[in-house]
Amino acid sequence: MKTNNLGYPRIGSNRELKKACELYWAGKISVDELIQNGKEIRRKNWHLQAEAGVDLIPSNDFSFYDQVLDLTLTLGAIPQRYHELAKTNSPIDLYFAMARGAQKDGQDVVAMEMTKWFDTNYHYIVPEFTKNQKFELFSEKIINEFKEANALKIATKPVLIGPISYLLLGKEKEEGFHRIDLIDKLLPVYFEIFEKLQAEKVEYIQLDEPFLALNLTDKERNTFTQVYNEINIRFPKIKIVLANYFDCFGENLATALALPVDTFHLDLVRCPSQLDDILESGKLAANVNLSLGVVDGRNIWKNDYKNSLTLIKKATDALGENRILVAPSCSLIHSPCDLDLETNDETLTPEIKQWLAFAKQKVNEIVVLKQLASNEVIAQNSVAFERNTIANDNRKTSTLIHNNDVKARVAGITATDDQRKSNFATRRKSQIEALNLPLFPTTTIGSFPQTAEVRSWRAKFKKGELTTEEYNELIEKETEATIRFQEETGIDVLVHGEFERNDMVEYFGEQLSGFTFTKNGWVQSYGSRCVKPPVIYGDVSRPNPMTVKWSKYAQSLTSKWVKGMLTGPVTILQWSFVRNDQPRSETCTQIALAIRDEVVDLEKAGIKIIQIDEPAIREGLPLRKEEWANYLDWAVKAFRISASGVNDDTQIHTHMCYSEFNDIIQNIADMDADVITIECSRSQMELLDAFANFKYPNEIGPGVYDIHSPRVPSSAEMVRLLEKASAVIPVDQLWVNPDCGLKTRHWDETKKALIEMVAAAQEMRAAV
């Protein structure tokens, strides 16, 4: 039996990579220093895994920005707009320009597009393909890193995204071809890489083909068969580890099992039942190995050895120990680095800490599991087993986790709890009367600039350098100034500005029971950007109101309506590490009830308009279409539960960021928010078509300017967009607002842009 790791976090346990990259971008360290930093991270990661006893240690899992972009560069798939820049810049600057755009020395090129890596919160850089796309071996990163590890006397398994998944991850930039047709041009470069690795005596190569977990066309499936047969004919000596993760093979199983590879990697966390399917199918060729992904690479819970050993034993009974590898479910880049660095007993108590495992601990888990399953070093490991059992038993029964009142409340939800008192048409009448808003009402999405100053107050407050009173007073002043600014600008529905919030999920998590926080549990989101998701470990409840004080204060300053601002249950769930001892839907419903209580309290405090943000609802969609309905059912229901405790004349808003709305428009309508604001300006209102075609019945605020850029748009531009919107949506359904919150913008451009926005709304009103 062996152990197999698919990838290790490359950010460094103290975010060394982030720091080095940002210093380099700011011109504060040299390219050599940057490269040295990368080398040091790789060395540490390889040593850590070698010392832990991992057999198949990955290389080429390191990246300065993104592994898909690395491969794009490796394959020379550099879009035309960077060719000029490639002549004068070093490869690493070309690479960063592709990732981030470049604006210097008269050059001005935009970045490549970025999108989510399957259903994770990791973002990759989308390859761009043209009809006559050429590929060539442009960078030898993968070979160099293999050699680098060899020099440290560590034989590694280079990791590469498989050719079919690479093409499918990309996008056609012109009409008249499908990217999968590029496979014949692409393969020779893969072969060149294999040859070079073979010359360096590579034993294993891991090819990641996570598209095997998605719905594929027949053509795509056939391409798998052709490609892997050809690889096998040309490189019979290289052991290919074909990694599929995030779900089962589904209807691709027969195709997959017929591929001539050395090892199939299975994600047994997302899909434990596939082990039986494969063993019972009788289709696994003799001598082919299975890598059992039993340790969760995407969550932070300690493995349950008893469960894992049952799965492993099933496999060894059927195939023999020699054909089994023990592995994490997927690359560990989706886990934080090291639990040992969590030393704050107040937030992460020793009781909770014993339930967790980060990347370093997970590496150890796969090694211990292998030893336990193969009866190696029994004495020492029986202690490990016993400790694991105690920790997991403790978690099952801990009073920290289980709150019977919460469980009873969820069990007692009735059919009317997710229904507003009346239908939208009736509510609308009450709201028109109660709110008295003009046509094309103007509003914003919630946050106003989180300046360095505002963030410094919070930092000082957390360090105890500001008292609660001092901190609150500063936030009050900032809020008041923001209210005054909105009044002067003539905005109709005001917001308080969200200055008291660090982050739209963390702020709520900190006030809800059942949540805790890590000090250093960072996970890469994209490039140098890392996130530190809260940990939902127990039943969720809301001991006290969370936002009422700020909303009430802001409302007391003005005679205009101030909109209450909440994060929705699905988004809170989606952006946290979620407990795995009950269905996600159950946890989501608990959060929904807590948000519902907050909504009701806001109403009681005199807040007549309440926004429940759900920017993450679409990204929670399962990978396979056949699982969508179930997810959408509970996700929409959770939102409705959170929104339905109020009277007809209280107006509920929701907000969603840029997303493909077409395939879930019915579900968005089912959420039945009185008003939805969406990100729209970058698509020139095209995104609104989904709503128009559907004849979306409720009110909509299509974003009229892009908040991701400091650029100030003119009112004329916004009028043009609003005219486009009015052509497809009845004017009495339209709101006027920016695309998203303004927290990342500066005050200067924010003020100018909102003045233009209000002018645009006035012009539209005058024209009606």
CB 718 to Zn ion: min, Å: 18
Q: How far is it, in rounded angstroms, from Cα 270 to Cα 298?
A: 10
Q: Are 617 and 570 in contact (CB under 8 A)?
A: yes
CB 679 to Zn ion: min, Å: 6
Q: Is 337 annotated as a binding residue?
A: no
Q: Are 515 and 582 in contact (CB under 8 A)?
A: no
Q: SS3 helix, strand, coil % of the chain, rounded to 5?
A: 50, 15, 35
CB 732 to ligand GLN: min, Å: 25
Q: Are 601 and 548 in contact (CB under 8 A)?
A: yes
Binding site for ligand GLN (CB under 6 A): 445-447, 498, 504, 565, 613, 615, 655, 657, 740-741, 743
Q: Which is nearer to Zn ion, 58 or 615 (CB)?
A: 615
Q: Is 365 annotated as a binding residue?
A: no
Q: What are the helix (H) ranges across 566-714?
A: 569-574, 584-604, 628-643, 665-671, 688-694
CB 743 to ligand GLN: min, Å: 5
Diameter of the chain measured on Cα atoms = 83
Q: Which is nearer to ligand GLN, 193 or 607 (CB)?
A: 607
**CA 392 centroid distance within chain:** 27
Binding site for Zn ion (CB under 5 A): 615, 657, 740
Q: How far is it, in rounded angstroms, from Cα 522 to Cα 12?
A: 10
Q: Is 640 annotated as a binding residue?
A: no
Q: Is 116 annotated as a binding residue?
A: yes
Q: Which is nearer to Zn ion, 615 or 713 (CB)?
A: 615
Cβ burial, residue 125 (10 Å; 0-12/13-18/19+): buried
**Residue 675 interacts with which of Zn ion, ligand GLN, none, CB < 5 to 8 Å by class:** none
**Residue 743 interacts with which of Zn ion, ligand GLN, none, CB < 5 to 8 Å by class:** ligand GLN
Which position has the token pair 């916004």?
718
Q: Are 614 and 656 in contact (CB under 8 A)?
A: yes
Q: How far is it, in rounded angstroms, from Cα 35 to Cα 32?
A: 5
Give the active site residue among 47, 83, 402, 708: 708
CA dihedral (439, 445, 449, 450) in degrees, to 10, reads 160
CA dihedral (307, 312, 317, 322) in degrees, to 10, reads -160
Q: Which is nearer to ligand GLN, 363 or 643 (CB)?
A: 643
Q: Is 655 annotated as a binding residue?
A: yes
The bridge status of strand 263-267 relative to strand 289-295 is: parallel
Q: Which is nearer to ligand GLN, 250 or 741 (CB)?
A: 741
End-to-end CA distance of the chain: 75
CB 575 to ligand GLN: min, Å: 10
Non-local CB neighbours of 525 within 8 Å, separated by 6+ positions: 121, 122, 123, 531
Reduced to 3 states (helix: H, G, I; strand: E, B; else coil), residue 124 is: strand
Q: Which is nearer to ligand GLN, 127 or 564 (CB)?
A: 564
Q: How far is it, in rounded angstroms, from Cα 399 to Cα 401?
A: 5
Q: Which is nearer to Zn ion, 348 or 616 (CB)?
A: 616
CB 637 to ligand GLN: min, Å: 21
CB 655 to Zn ion: min, Å: 6
**Residue 446 interacts with which of ligand GLN, Zn ion, none, CB < 5 to 8 Å by class:** ligand GLN
**Residue 294 interacts with which of Zn ion, ligand GLN, none, CB < 5 to 8 Å by class:** none
Q: How far is it, in rounded angstroms, from Cα 675 to Cα 227?
A: 50
Q: Is 17 annotated as a binding residue?
A: yes
User: Which of 513, 512, 517 is CA-nearest to residue 533?
Assistant: 517
**Residue 546 interacts with which of ligand GLN, Zn ion, none, CB < 5 to 8 Å by class:** none
Q: Is 184 annotated as a binding residue?
A: no
Q: Which residue is nearest to ligand GLN (CB)?
A: 741
Reduced to 3 states (helix: H, G, I; strand: E, B; else coil), residue 55 is: coil
Q: Which is nearer to ligand GLN, 100 or 655 (CB)?
A: 655
Q: Which is nearer to ligand GLN, 396 or 708 (CB)?
A: 708
Q: Is 15 annotated as a binding residue?
A: yes
CB 186 to ligand GLN: min, Å: 36
Q: Is 680 annotated as a binding residue?
A: no
CB 605 to ligand GLN: min, Å: 19
Q: Are 355 and 363 in contact (CB under 8 A)?
A: no
Non-local CB neighbours of 701 within 8 Å, separated by 6+ positions: 443, 675, 676, 677, 678, 734, 735, 736, 737
CA atoms within 13 A on the CB side of 543: 8
Q: What is the DSSP letter of 140?
A: -
State the SS3 of 509-572. Answer: HCCCEEEECCCCCCEEEECCEEECCCEEEEEEECCCCCCHHHHHHHHHCCCCEEEEEEECHHHH
Q: 226-238: buried (b, 16+ CB within 10 Å) or exposed (e) per residue? A: ebbeebeeebeeb
CB 95 to ligand GLN: min, Å: 28
Q: Are 592 and 634 in contact (CB under 8 A)?
A: no
Q: How far is it, in rounded angstroms, from Cα 650 to Cα 435?
A: 9
Q: Is 529 annotated as a binding residue?
A: yes
**Residue 648 interacts with which of ligand GLN, Zn ion, none, CB < 5 to 8 Å by class:** none
Q: Is 613 annotated as a binding residue?
A: yes
**Residue 12 interacts with which of Zn ion, ligand GLN, none, CB < 5 to 8 Å by class:** none
**Residue 123 interacts with which of Zn ion, ligand GLN, none, CB < 5 to 8 Å by class:** none
Residue 630 backbone dihedrals phi, psi, to 5 degrees:
-65, -45
Q: For residue 205, what are the β-bridge partners?
A: 240
**Residue 548 interacts with which of ligand GLN, Zn ion, none, CB < 5 to 8 Å by class:** none
Q: Is 445 annotated as a binding residue?
A: yes
CB 548 to ligand GLN: min, Å: 17
708 is a catalytic site residue: yes
Q: Is 16 annotated as a binding residue?
A: yes
**Residue 447 interacts with which of Zn ion, ligand GLN, none, CB < 5 to 8 Å by class:** ligand GLN
Q: Is 43 annotated as a binding residue?
A: no
Q: Is 575 annotated as a binding residue?
A: yes
> From residue 580, how far is each of 396, 398, 521, 539, 584 by CA, in Å?
11, 15, 18, 12, 8
**Residue 563 interacts with which of ligand GLN, Zn ion, none, CB < 5 to 8 Å by class:** none
Q: Which two tokens stand for residue 195?
A: 């040859």
Q: Which is nearer to ligand GLN, 370 or 501 (CB)?
A: 501
Amino acid 594 reads A
CA atoms within 13 A on the CB side of 174: 7
Q: Which is nearer to ligand GLN, 498 or 756 (CB)?
A: 498
Reduced to 3 states (helix: H, G, I; strand: E, B; else coil), residue 317 is: helix
Q: How far is it, in rounded angstroms, from Cα 295 to Cα 368?
A: 11
Give binding residues as ranges: 15-18, 116, 445-447, 498, 529-530, 575, 613, 619, 655, 657, 679, 740
Give binding residues for Zn(2+) as ranges: 655, 657, 679, 740
Catalytic residue ranges: 708
Give binding residues for L-homocysteine as ranges: 445-447, 498, 613
Give binding residues for 5-methyltetrahydropteroyltri-L-glutamate as ranges: 15-18, 116, 529-530, 575, 619
Give binding residues for L-methionine as ranges: 445-447, 498, 613
